Chains A and B, each alone.
Chain A
Amino acid sequence: MDIYETGGGDGIIKMNNLKKNIKTTFYIFCLLFLSLMSYLTYFQLYERQKLIESSYNRRLWEQESKIKRGTIYDRNGVTLAETIDLGTEKKRIYISGEAFGPLLGYSSMKIGRSGLESALNGELLGIAQKEPLSLLRQKIYGLSQGNDVYLTVDAELQKKAYSLLEGKRGAVVALEPETGAVLIMVSSPGFDSNKVEEQWEKLKGDRGLPLLNRALTGLYPPGSAFKVVTLSGVLENFTGIEKEKFETKGYIKVGGRVIKDDNSIKPGEYSLKEAFAVSSNAIFAGLGLRLGRDKLLKIAGDFGFNSKIPFEMYVKKSQFPGHSLMDSDVQLAEDSIGQGKVLTTPLLMASIAQIIANHGVYHSPYIIDKVKTPLGQVKVNNLRTVRKTVISPQTADIVRDYMVEVVEKGTGKAARMKDIKVAGKTGTAENPHGEPHSWFIGFAPAQDPAIAIAVIVENGGSGGKVAAPIAREIIEYYFKIRNRK
């Protein structure tokens, strides 16, 4: 300022200041425009992908009409769903039939998406690619082909399981004990994904709820099948309990409530193994009371109750009640035999069988084996690496021996096979909707398990009479086709 004052008149100073201020203003505008360009760049690099895949983005459907949706294969490369180009339009064809309806779901402009078609949409359309190089390659080659998805499911087994449930409501889930790979995921009644658009109203109104994937979103009381968890808790917490003897009068009175054994159980003295084999409610309710709410809650949580199960699709959370105002000994006694407020998905019951079969180590279930891009790159599912020790191998092996006893001599005789030793546990779950639900969980061969399974037939009646034979037939079929290969 001083320089100007000595340098000239008032007008010149003002003019100089004016110019200086205009320059300052210009710098501010440089910053403003720079911030526009920077934000646009940031958006392009970090926000873009999220928005492209957003379900609110109507362009997805537009894109879909141009992209050939990827094929879905089973573990042996059998095609389950594919898109064929009819020239004017593209048609999604499901070769797998009703057995796969609830699992694969559908993808339709009219009614939306469900099942794996929904969960894997990004992959099947090939828009989940993150690497810019493959995006560029796609752009250059004008690739209009989504990724192919290979499932861990065996189509033959799946169809067999579905045919065994035919006409009944229920679900079957089978896992590979050493990996957690899903071999079967059936929900009955199913539907034909090809006809879902035309039968939409009927399917939606059907009281059998065919659109529901019971394996993941059905919540049922597990009944006596839950005794596997209670037994594990007892064995982990009380050393030497397997040598004790337990008395049953055919019932147990807890806080004014009577919990009864099945009529076939004679009152008298039982070892823990025998009590498990005949599935004594009175003895196991007593064991639950001895274990206490805290320890039972802990072991149920370790097995996967009350937590979100990581999976490729949405899985309902299985519930084991914690402390509450309503908590009482009656509650605890009922919970420990899988009645009361315990609710579980068939998937979790299969995982429980898998944990025992795999010496106490849980493997997160997964259904996608691999994803193959049109350029031949293979992406591996990272759910494969999720594992956790739930119970000690010693405990798991005792539970396994007890489960063998169930099938050899106890309630699960209907699951017995001639040449292969099966381990299992039945469940007959009382529920407010009529006949009890029929459960069977198990694995085979007992010493070197290759398949772990959970079967539920809604309102089927006795677990030993309904679910166990279905499980046996599936296991038989599994070994039959395995030996053939």
Chain B
Amino acid sequence: MSPQIENIYNKSAAVFAITGIVNFLLLSYFNKALGLGIFYSALIFLAVFFLCYIVNYKFIESSDTYLFIIPSLLVELGLTMLCRINPDLFKRQLLFYIAGSFLFIFSTLLTKYFIKKINSPMLFFILTFIFLLLPVLFGVERGGARNWILINGYFSFQPSEIAKLFYVFYLASNLREGRIEKLHRLVLEIFSIIVLLILTRDLGGAMLFYLTALFMIFIATSRYDYFLLGFIVIVLLGGASFYRMPYVRARVLAWLDPWQDVPGRGYQIAQSLFAIAQGGFFGTGLGLGHPDYIPAVATDFIFSAFTEEFGFLGGQALILLYFLLVYRGVRISLFSKDPYLSLISAGLTVFFGLQVFTIIGGVIKLIPVTGVTLPFMSYGGSSMVISFTAFGVLNGVWISTRREEVME
């Protein structure tokens, strides 16, 4: 793609993201009770977006601005829904966006200058392990999983989100030679991480971590047999947990036939499907749906609420936006000349893509529901901040690749 066309795309995407502001303005007009606060919030969002966009576009050489624009658009759509669901969450989410967009720039620069210098698998493993151990020791329960850490009672975060990054770095540094030095050790380390996640009952997270490892091992070593074997192991483990863990069993049964027990275990998924069904092709229109009927609507089920109000077409568009991000990530890892950087960007992309598939697939009943967030849209600081940081890393990889090209 020529730089000129790239520029045009960048600018049009930016315009597209900005027009979303109309949503807020409409909402604040429509729902007078929300008051001017929304209007000011919209202006703040706009200012932050513009600032970071210009920094990316003008001051960071050969930055892949899409990696900032598309997530911002997603955040904007998420904010629109949150504003409609719960204005308090909306305001906090806006703060998370501000933090996230600055972290995007920060991690871009950090990656650009330092990433190749730090590549010790041991260090990354220890960091991953510590962050996952924290909730096991001090965690509080929220929504079934004990993966939250409370600091002075008010500020809370999910260490497993941070561990995600270190985990991908750990795998990339371990596999960067294209072969597995000590298979038993790698397997042991990965499983110790999975066990920590299971201990906090974050089964969705455990599955994402596990599958990401499978994909990265396959990418680095071309070993189809490991991939297949790993897949069989997870199927067996899944089968065993269906019989051993009542929580898993309830989720799977709710997936197979939610209509058997709508007021009970099928409640969540049934409400989600009612919402999507209600939307039809064009949606009920913003503000005219019933997100209040859906449990955990601000976090896990935000896709259903969005599809109710923006319709089947809105939902499909959202899936395409996420796919575009996956494509962007894959592109970066393909262009990279350094296997380490290539593996990092591939790993981050795989993790991101799997997470999106897991939660959207869950709420539309393609697969059983697991409590993971929809990156950029679900309410939640840890998820937002880490997702932006991850995309900053991708951007950093991209920039260093381009720099090498120029130098050659």
Contacts and interface: CB of A to CB of B under 8 A. Distances in A.
A239 interface: no
Given A15-B337, A22-B334, A43 B342 contact: no
Interface string A19-43: 1111101100110110111011101
A127 B320 CA distance: 31
A241 interface: no
B330 A22 contact: yes
A272 B357 CA distance: 78
A22 B219 contact: yes
B339 interface: yes
B94 interface: no
Contact of A32 (B218, B337, B353): B353
Contact of B342 (A18, A47, A48, A54): A18
A481 interface: no
Interface residues of A, number: 34
Nearest to A58: B293
B323 A33 contact: yes
Nearest to B218: A21
Contacts of B327: 26
Interface string B337-365: 10100110010001001000100110011
Contacts of B316: 37, 40-41
B178 A36 contact: no
B333 A48 contact: no
Contacts of A56: 262-263, 270, 274
Interface stretch (B4-12, B110-118, B277-285, B398-406): B277-285
Interface in B297-345: 312, 315-316, 319-320, 322-323, 326-327, 330, 333-334, 337, 339, 342-343
Nearest to A62: B290
B366 interface: yes
Nearest to A13: B178
Contacts of A57: 274, 277-278
Nearest to B290: A59
A22 B178 CA distance: 13
B215 interface: yes
Contacts of B360: 36
Interface in B246-282: 262-263, 270, 273-274, 276-278, 280-282
Interface string A258-285: 0000000000000000000000000000
Contacts of A17: 178, 222
A74 B326 CA distance: 62
B102 to A, nearest CB: 29
Nearest to A51: B277
Contacts of A41: 312, 316
Contacts of A33: 319, 322-323, 326, 353, 357
A40 B278 contact: no
A361 B131 CA distance: 79
B293 A21 contact: no
Contact of A59 (B178, B278, B339): B278
B312 A21 contact: no
Nearest to B342: A18
B27 interface: no
A290 interface: no
Interface of A is mostly: helix
Nearest to B222: A17
B390 interface: no
B79 interface: no
B366 A39 contact: yes
B334 A21 contact: no
A137 interface: no
A14 interface: yes
B74 interface: no
A80 interface: no
B397 interface: no
A52 interface: yes
B249 to A, nearest CB: 22
A324 interface: no
B339 A15 contact: yes
Contact of B312 (A23, A30, A40, A139): A40
Interface in A342-362: none
A44 interface: yes
A319 B66 CA distance: 72
Given A18-B178, A22-B333, 13 more contacts: A18-B220, A19-B342, A25-B219, A29-B323, A29-B330, A29-B353, A33-B319, A36-B357, A37-B320, A40-B315, A40-B316, A54-B274, A59-B293
25 contacts: A15-B337, A21-B222, A22-B333, A22-B346, A23-B334, A25-B218, A25-B346, A26-B327, A29-B330, A33-B357, A35-B361, A36-B360, A36-B364, A36-B366, A40-B316, A43-B273, A43-B276, A43-B277, A43-B364, A43-B365, A47-B273, A47-B277, A48-B277, A51-B273, A58-B293
